[in-house]
Amino acid sequence: MIALFLAMANPDSLFAEGVLHHQKKEYSEALSLYRKAIAADSARQMSWFVLGILYQDMDSLAESRSAYEKAFALSPDDPRPLFNIGITYEEEGNLPLAIQSYRRALSVNPGYLKALFNMGLDFAEMGMSDSGEIYLKRAVKSDPEYHEAWYRLAAFYAKRGKTTDALMALSRAMEIDPGYALLAKEDTAFAKLWDDARFKNLVK
C-alpha cells in the first residue's frame, strides 16, 4: 500500500502514465495525470511543455499557450515552447501573433530552423514577399539539407515568376529528395513553369 501511494505521488510515474494515455488519445486521463505530476513538482519544465501539447491536441489553445509560457519561464534557453505558441496562433489564423512568437524563439536561438521556416511561410502568406524570401533563405542557410525549405523556396519563386531561382531551389530540393520532381509536376505553385523546357527537363 505504501509503495502504491509513493508511486501515485511520484511525478515521474505520474508523468510517464500521462504520456501513455496521451499517446492513446485518452486526453481526459492524460490531463488528470499531468496536472497531478505538476502538483507534485511544479518546477519540471517538461511537464508544463507536454501539458501545452496536450491542450493543443484538445484544441484548448489559450490553455496551451499558458502552459508553454510556464515551460519557457522554467527554461528560458529553450525556444520550443515559444515556437509552439506560434503554432497555436497559426491554428487560429493569427499570423502576426504567430510571427511575433517565432521572433521570440529566434531571440533565444537565432538559428532555430523551424521558426525561420515558419516565419518565411507566414510572411509569404501575408503578402510580405521580401520578408518571406529572407526567412526562407535563412532557413536553408541554417540547414542546407532541409529539403522542404528548398522546395517551399522554389514554390515561392515560381509563383512570382522568378524561374531561374525557382529551378535552382527545386534542383537542390530534388538532390536531397528526388520525390519532389513528381510533386512539382502536380503542384499549382509551379504552374507558370510547367511549359518551360528547363522545368520539364529537370523533373522528367
Cell of 64: 496551451
The confidence score (pLDDT) of residue 14 equals 94
The CATH code of the domain at 1-57 is 1.25.40
Tell me the pLDDT tens digit for each residue of 69-97: 999 999 999 999 999 999 999 999 999 99
CATH 1.25.40 fits 147-204, yes or no: yes
Residues in the chain, pLDDT under 70:
1-9
Which of 3.30.56.10, 3.40.50.2020, 1.25.40.10, 1.20.1050.10 would CATH assign to domain 79-143? 1.25.40.10
The confidence score (pLDDT) of residue 4 equals 43
193 backbone dihedrals φ, ψ, rounded to 5°: -105, -10
- pTM for the model stands at 0.88
- Give how far Cα 85 sits from Cα of 12, 15, 44, 77, 176, Å: 25, 22, 19, 15, 30
Establish whether domains 79-143 and 147-204 are of one fold.
Answer: yes
The confidence score (pLDDT) of residue 2 equals 39
Tell me the pLDDT tens digit for each residue of 144-175: 999 999 999 999 999 999 999 999 999 999 99
The confidence score (pLDDT) of residue 166 equals 97
Residue ranges per structural domain of the chain: 1-57, 79-143, 147-204
